[in-house]
Amino acid sequence: MESHQSLAPLAREISALPPSLGPVRLIGIDGHAGSGKSTFARRLAEALGGAPVLHLDDVASHEQLFAWPDRLRAQVLEPLAAGRPARWAPYDWVARRFGPEQVLEPAPVLLVEGVGAGRRALRPRLARLLWMETPRAESWGRGRHRDGRDLADFWDGWERAELAHFSDDPSRPFADTLVRQSGTGYEWSSEAGATAGRAASITEGDGLPRA
């Protein structure tokens, strides 16, 4: 089954939410690095008819793995809240500098995915927070395997930084929806009691997520 079909029920739930950032429904997708956020966000965006996705990897930098809320607020959140296009410069992790400016028009739904998408600085702006319910060790193992030995040192530093971030500013306790990957697709539990594990399920046929 195509992802835009199987994720349609969740997409309908999200589309029915009231706007949370000017005209925009801002949806956070958080979880440990390597938990499948990027792949899930891409599939959910398709189910939403091509909703834009903002990757927090493009907002962070080597020097500021988590110290990016002020930049995100000034470049993205405040303009969208006013109904204006956001203008922001994605970070180039190879060149180690911010690249050319990009424009993000206000849209009915904007998905923000990445570690820290549910942090306290963003939560008041979110229409819904989704948490990828993949255990930390499994997530980090996927990420290290994906990125290879050349980035082993980066991962050592990232793991320490992520532990410190979630210790100070956890996201999962505030999630509205927990998303799990099963052998046949995704399962999720939504609304009140999400962290208690009440689950609904869907199926899709694309295997494990990449990121």
- pLDDT given for residue 5 in this prediction: 42
Q: Given this model, what pLDDT does residue 31 score?
A: 94
Tell me the C-alpha distance between 71 and 64, whole Å: 11
Rounded to 5°, angle at Cα 55 from 52 and 60: 145
> Residue 6 has what pLDDT?
80
Q: Where are the alpha helices (DSSP H) in the chain?
A: 3-6, 8-15, 37-47, 69-72, 78-81, 136-147, 152-168
At residue 2, the pLDDT reads 31
- For residue 1 the two structure tokens come to 């089954």
Position 135 scores a pLDDT of 74
For 143, other C-beta atoms within 10 Å of its C-beta total 18
Q: What is the pLDDT of residue 191?
A: 57
List of the chain residues with pLDDT < 70 = 1-5, 140-141, 143-145, 147-148, 150-152, 184, 191-211
For the whole model, what pTM was predicted? Answer: 0.85
pLDDT of residue 150: 63
Give the pLDDT confidence score for residue 151 in this predicted structure.
Answer: 64
**Alpha-carbon distance values, 18 to 23, 100, 107, 134, 168 (Å):** 9, 33, 13, 28, 29
Model pLDDT, residue 202:
38
Q: What is the pLDDT of residue 94?
A: 83
Can you give the pLDDT at residue 196? 42
CA dihedral 52, 151, 155, 184 (to 10 degrees): 50
